[in-house]
Amino acid sequence: MTTFAKESDFEVALIDVLRQRGWGDADVIKNPTEADLLANWKQILFENNRGKDSLNEVPLTDSEMQQIMEQITALRTPLKLNGFINGKTVSIIR
Q: Is the pLDDT of residue 21 over 80?
A: yes
CA atoms of 46 and 60, how far apart (whole Å): 7
Q: So what's the pLDDT on residue 9?
A: 95
Domain ranges of the chain: 1-30, 31-94
Q: So what's the pLDDT on residue 62?
A: 93
Q: CB within 8 A of 12, min separation 6: which ones?
A: none
Give the pLDDT band (50/70/90) at residue 27.
low
The distance of Cα 57 from the centroid of its chain, to the nearest Å, equals 19
Q: So what's the pLDDT on residue 31?
A: 86
Q: What mean pLDDT do residues 10-26 have?
A: 86
Nearest to 84 by CA among 94, 70, 71: 71
Give the pLDDT band (50/70/90) at residue 13.
very high
Q: Is the pLDDT of residue 88 over 70?
A: no
In what helix (H) or strand (E) does residue 65 lie, and over which residues does it extend? Answer: helix 62-75
CA atoms of 62 and 27, how far apart (whole Å): 22
